């Protein structure tokens, strides 16, 4: 039985890491696409092209990845009985923040696709750094388990 749980754990872990990479790649790409859309006239062909690309990124990469990451992550925590661990609580908090950031970016990208420009290019460049900072903190928590 323990061998079976070990195998399930390794598959869950591999899937979690793979889809986390997809998710973060999408979160790095979306602000960049928004920067490219920013100077385009709302009614232009270029604007329509970037809006389409952002929609595909959300539909094909971001939405499926966040769902799979959450499901596999919760299953991993259950499999190793990590619910009482402080590092897991901190990680979950940061993943909730990252998920909220994901939702914020999606909302802003939809506004931009509709022709609005609610964020400056400078702000978009700064927002592009957020996933990397959160990723670094999450990886330290998972690998080092400081508490």
Burial class (CB within 10 angstroms; exposed 0-12, middle 13-18, buried 19+) of 78 = exposed
Residue 16 assigned ligand-binding role = yes
Residue ranges of the annotated binding site are: 16, 91
Residue ranges of the annotated binding site for heme are: 16, 91
């Amino acid at each position: 039985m323990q061998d079976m749980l070990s195998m399930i754990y390794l598959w869950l872990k591999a899937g979690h890491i793979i889809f986390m990479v997809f998710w973060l790649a999408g979160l790095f790409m979306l602000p960049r696409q928004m920067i490219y859309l920013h100077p385009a006239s709302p009614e232009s062909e270029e604007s329509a092209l970037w809006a389409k690309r952002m929609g595909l990124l959300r539909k094909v990469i971001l939405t499926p990845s966040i769902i799979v990451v959450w499901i596999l992550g919760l299953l991993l925590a259950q499999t190793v009985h990590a619910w009482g661990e402080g590092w897991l609580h901190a990680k979950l908090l940061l993943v909730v923040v990252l998920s909220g950031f994901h939702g914020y970016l999606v909302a802003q990208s939809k506004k931009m696709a509709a022709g609005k420009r609610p964020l400056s290019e400078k702000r978009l460049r700064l927002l592009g750094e957020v996933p990397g900072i959160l990723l670094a903190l999450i990886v330290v928590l998972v690998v080092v388990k400081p508490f």
